[in-house]
């Protein structure tokens, strides 16, 4: 990583770490992780089971949705805010590569978001440590990894939105709209369209790969149930066609693409725009 990229990333990380909004969302995420974990443990005790299955299953949706929203909002405000404050034009006249202007803010914000995620899951891990078994460690680590991957992808998408936006209001509204589309809209559309179009498992797989949130959710569920039973017929198709490791590699590759492509688009936009 170039010196200019590291400098910008460190500055963005410090700015995000001091932000009251980031600190508040990190605390909210930690509290929600703790609440979901306690409810899952209560369910375990009521039915006389051991392990952390219900708790980790409840954490999956929370871990995918909230950090994803945080990533889109934080990334969506970075470049456009720097442009409005005059920071981006000032950096643009310096011998700073356009790549550093994109990768630096992305790395700094992603780093701050990763710290927030680890803090929230750390609180949950302390509570779960009393009932966790050795077989639970892998799925829990996979959940943390999937959450971080989705959050980082959302930061990249947010940076792309920021490069295309003319104001912070436009960037924020676009980020929120996209989050609702990825979190709820695509699922509702599939429920309405899939029966009529007779979408098979291949169509569902394409829909999952086109949505980083769904790809992260399926990845976490696949780690919790390597045979794919928790995903129903779709999980059986994945495992039979690609195998557990192949399916995981496919999902990880799709999330990685959601990091690389938006950053490349943002770099292209900055290179051709008047800062």
- Model confidence pLDDT, tens digit, residues 64-101: 888 999 999 999 999 998 888 888 888 877 777 888 88
Report the pLDDT value the prediction gives residue 122, as an integer from 0 to 100.
Answer: 86
Question: How confident is the prediction for the chain on average, in pLDDT?
Answer: 82
Hey, what are 110's tokens?
Answer: 């992603």
- The number of folded domains in the chain is 1
3-state secondary structure of 261: helix
Q: What is the 3-state secondary structure (H, E, C) of 30-84?
A: HHHHHHHHHHHHHHHHHHCCCCCHHHHHHHHHHHHHHHHHHHHHHHHHHHHHHHH
Q: In the numeric block, which tokens belong to residue 195? A: 């029966």
In this predicted structure, the answer to whether residue 107 has a pLDDT above a threshold of 90 is yes
Distances (CA, A) of 178 to 80, 105, 258: 17, 20, 14
Burial of 103 (0-12, 13-18, 19+ CB in 10 A): buried
Please name the residues in contact with 140: beta carbons below 8 A apart, sequence gap of 6 or more.
Answer: 52, 56, 125, 128, 132
Lowest mean pLDDT across 56-60, 182-186, 205-209: 56-60
pLDDT tens digits for 238-249?
888 888 889 999
pTM above 0.75, yes or no: yes
pLDDT surpassing 60 at residue 256: yes
Domain that holds residue 76: 3-272
**Residue-wise pLDDT tens digits, 12-48:** 888 888 888 788 888 888 888 878 777 766 655 554 4
């Amino acid at each position: 990583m170039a010196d200019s990229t590291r400098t910008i990333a460190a500055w963005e990380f410090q700015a995000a770490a001091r932000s009251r909004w980031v600190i508040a969302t990190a605390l909210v995420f930690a509290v929600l992780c703790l609440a979901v974990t306690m409810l899952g443990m209560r369910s375990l005790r009521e039915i006389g089971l051991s392990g952390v299955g219900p708790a980790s299953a409840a954490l999956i949706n929370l871990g995918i949705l909230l950090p994803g929203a945080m990533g889109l909002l934080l990334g969506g405000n970075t470049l456009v805010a720097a442009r409005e404050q005059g920071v981006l034009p000032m950096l643009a006249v310096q011998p700073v590569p356009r790549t550093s202007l994109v990768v630096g803010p992305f790395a700094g914000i992603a780093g701050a978001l990763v710290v927030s995620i680890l803090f929230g899951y750390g609180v949950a891990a302390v509570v779960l440590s009393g009932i966790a078994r050795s077989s639970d460690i892998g799925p829990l680590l996979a959940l943390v990894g999937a959450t971080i991957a989705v959050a980082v992808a959302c930061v990249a998408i947010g940076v792309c939105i920021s490069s295309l936006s003319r104001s912070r209001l436009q960037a924020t509204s676009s980020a929120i709209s996209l989050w609702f589309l990825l979190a709820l809209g695509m699922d509702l559309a599939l429920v309405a369209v899939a029966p009529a179009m007779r979408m098979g498992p291949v169509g569902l797989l394409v829909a999952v790969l086109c949505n980083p949130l769904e790809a992260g959710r399926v990845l976490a569920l696949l780690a919790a149930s390597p045979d794919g039973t928790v995903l129903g017929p779709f999980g059986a198709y994945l495992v039979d066609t690609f195998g557990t490791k192949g399916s995981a590699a496919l999902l990880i590759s799709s999330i990685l693409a959601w990091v690389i492509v938006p950053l490349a688009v943002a770099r292209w936009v900055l290179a051709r725009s008047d800062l």
